[in-house]
Amino acid sequence: MSSRTLVTTVAKSKRAQTPFILSHELKYGLKIVTRHVHTRAVESVRCLFCVYHGREEIVGQKRQRQKTVNCKTWEVFRSDAYVKHHVQQHPTAWKLYDAADADDKKQFFLDKMEHKNTLHAHLGNASTPLTFSFDAAIIDDIILSAFFDEDEIDSSSYRRAVKLFQKVVDRESDGAYHYTSTINRAMQFQLTARFLAIGMSFRQIERAVDATREVGNVAKLGTLNEMLVGDYARILVSAGLQMLSNVLNRSETWAFSLANDSSTHLSLSYFEQLIRLHVAGDIFNLHLISMPMFDRHTSENMALLVFKILDVVCPSWRDKLLCVSTDGANTMTGRHNGVVARIQREATHPLYRIWCLIHQVDLVSKRNLLALFDGDFQCIINKVATCLRKQQKLIDDMGATCPKMTTRWLALGVWTKWQLDHRIDLETWFASRTAPGQLQLPRWWWPIIAGVCAVMTQLNFAIVKLQSKNLLLSQQIAEIERVVSIICIKCEVEVVNPLVEGEVAADETQSAICGKWSITHRNVEKFLLDQGSFVKHVLDAMTVIQRAEVFSEMGTFVVGMIDGILQLVASRDADNLPSEEEIPPVLPHQLIAIRPAAFAALANKHGGRLAQLGENVMDRIEQDHRELITAFDNEPSLHDALGRCNNDTSFREGWAVVEGRFRGLRDFCGGIATIFPNTASVESSFSILGWEKDANRMSLTDLALEGCMQARQFDLLSKLA
């Protein structure tokens, strides 16, 4: 499973032979495996059909021995030998490949998992051993160190983890070594990984594998118990970290980004790290690690954990790290000693700093909600939520329970909509409460609830979209502007005209103003009346003064939300203030709008990191950009295709339009696109962690818990690595 690099260090004493023809790599579906360390001449190539398809079974063919699962490798380069092997071992796949054109051949093996990592490779022999190879630091410094506190070294869990890995001293090395772990029943392991990925408990997996063995009559699948499931989970952690390390340490991975956060679950502290990287034209959000924090949640301790993990999985991370995204907490964003500041001091190049825009929207919502009726609205909704959740008879009559009330993300919109959906039942119930001291709703309750719900429902659509894993930073900004534009249109919000001081005071009696935004009381009334005829009935029953108060409060809420949201900036500077640094666009339809000189100025800021890709890399990127513009101007099909792209176009979709061209430009933009626009993915990981380890699974060890997390991306990492 490991992709430990094979490099020959001693030239082989062979007679002169025909050198490998590089065009044969694409023509015959081959992959260069080893090169001479000095001359870089090709020394061996491997069959990609063996790697990704396996050897085909020939119907009716009688075999005297078991079919090999090894991949064919050639050290003597003869085209007739390639064809003979393909025809005999891969007749179906080779026929399709041979008939394809060059562009289709380039795509033929993309998005395919190595055959040895699939269930199909083991169906014929369920007991085939599967061996993983791990870098020594992954086992020594993470698996057997970071997941165990000092007082756990003598525990049975630690001893069991140690037994899973065998130390292997590397040949021709000065004491260097790595670890291996052998799975005797590969199919059993693969099934366990799949079952862990869908959230099954260890006991459920034990029973599911037993049922699979009995129903499928696969005796060699063997028996499974909870202890062995735990072992498999621990191996999955090591395998996931190793595969991720292989991807990060590739030379073409010139940049990646981090998102970090800490949380407490069941009285235990965990530190979550996510990583975002670009591979072959697509962007991937990957779970790096969720590990226990045995010390306090200080910025120093969290930064040390980041360094410890990155030093193991990617020793060159200081040259490659592009961005760190956080939720804005002081421990993360502190000017001198915050986690991001400490990481910046370690990094070779300046970092982009992102403060999660969803968390910032959350703060704007809280601030404006607290301003409604001088805090009375917030106080009453908390009382209403608490009261309604205790009324079991009302719950039974309605067949629904009032949601818990928070102002976090989607909650306010969901809560107010629930109120409106059950308005008639709630009005009747509150009207029946006549005893002194019982909670009663104020007159303005339903108009304000309706107005807040309308605003927050629009905002919730944007928040859901902002949580997309493949979202780009530019798309996040465009989505925020889109939803604010809708609210402005619905409420007929206007830009304030310059007024003299006296006119401003007079205007505020008939309008709500915040910043440069203004909404008249008449437009607030029209907006509220659009929410339903019940609003008109409530407003008609009010006095003129009461109506004016409702319009003033609702108008202030609307323009306060608009002004606050439009001032939000995700990119921050060292003082956690909005940054004016421009981030390059990353999609072809955006790049064609930039002049080559302006693009070169943006790209050259990353020259230090890009030096990893080789000499003259900036020249190749700039040339690709100029050629993209030329192609857009002169190729009608490309012009039309790019014209159909919009703010919903993903990175993969955007670059698929150019059909494999401008690879240097694509890889540069892929690195920039790794910037986490927010930390929604981190919040999602914490939700999964809490779901995996609930009150009924308190005995689940931290290492096994991390195995459950890694299982969810095991197949994806197998493809990427």
Evaluate if residue 59 carries a pLDDT over 60.
no
pLDDT at 118 over 90: no
Beta strand residue intervals within 310-442, DSSP E? 321-326, 352-355
Average pLDDT, rounded, for the chain: 85
Query: Could you tell me which residue, 8 or 609, shows the higher pLDDT?
Result: 609
pLDDT band at 499 (very low <50, low <70, confident <90, very high): low
Residues 6+ apart with CB under 8 A from 272: 260, 261, 262, 263, 289, 290, 682, 685, 686, 689
Q: Which domains occur in the chain, in start order?
A: 24-112 (no CATH), 130-245 (no CATH), 251-353+677-693 (3.30.420.10), 360-566 (no CATH), 588-672 (no CATH)
Write the pLDDT tens digit of every residue in 571-623.
Answer: 988 888 888 888 899 999 999 999 999 999 999 999 889 988 878 899 999 99
pLDDT at residue 60, as a whole number:
38
Contact between 87 and 47 (Cβ < 8 Å): no
The helix or strand, by DSSP H or E, that contains position 26, with its residue range, turns out to be: helix 24-27
Confidence of residue 690 (pLDDT cuts 50, 70, 90): low
Among candidate residues 115, 114, 148, the one with its CA nearest the CA of residue 234: 148
Mean pLDDT of 493-503: 65
Query: What are the start-end ranges of the E strands in 28-100?
Result: 30-35, 42-47, 73-74
pLDDT at 184 over 90: no
Range in 88-92, 245-249, 280-284, 504-508 the model is least confident about: 504-508
As a whole number, mean pLDDT of residues 616-640 equals: 95
How much of the chain, in percent, has pLDDT values that exceed 90? 51
Alpha carbons 532 and 33: distance in angstroms, whole number: 69
Residue 695, pLDDT above cutoff 80: no
Q: What is the pLDDT of residue 446?
A: 96
Length of the chain: 721
Please indicate whether residue 307 or residue 103 has the higher confidence score (pLDDT): 307
Q: Tens of pLDDT along 311-347?
A: 999 999 999 999 999 888 777 777 767 888 999 999 9
Split at pLDDT 50, 70, 90, the class of 556 is very high
Q: Assess whether pLDDT exceeds 90 at residue 257.
A: yes
Q: Which amino acid is residue 313, in one-letter code?
A: V
pTM: 0.76
Q: What is the pLDDT of residue 8?
A: 39
> Residue 501's pLDDT is what?
52
Cα pseudo-dihedral 629, 634, 637, 643, rounded to 10: 50
Label residue 210 exposed, middle or buried (CB < 10 Å: 0-12, 13-18, 19+): middle
Residue 69 pLDDT class (50, 70, 90 cuts): low
Six-digit token pair at 621? 């990127």
Q: Which of 65-74, 350-359, 415-424, 532-541 shows the lowest per-residue confidence on average (mean pLDDT)?
A: 65-74
Kindly report which listed range (97-101, 422-426, 506-510) carries the lowest average pLDDT score.
506-510
User: Which residues make Cβ contacts (< 8 Å) with residue 99, sequence separation at least 6?
Assistant: none
**At residue 128, what is the residue type?**
T
Q: What is the pLDDT of residues 430-466, one digit of tens each?
A: 999 888 888 889 999 999 999 999 999 999 999 999 8
Q: What is the pLDDT of residue 701?
A: 66
* pLDDT value at 54 more than 90: no
Contact (CB, 8 A) for 357 and 571: no
Mean pLDDT within 117-135: 64
Note whether 483 and 458 are within 8 A (CB).
yes
CA torsion through residues 588, 590, 592, 595, sign: negative
Above 70 in pLDDT, residue 117? Answer: no
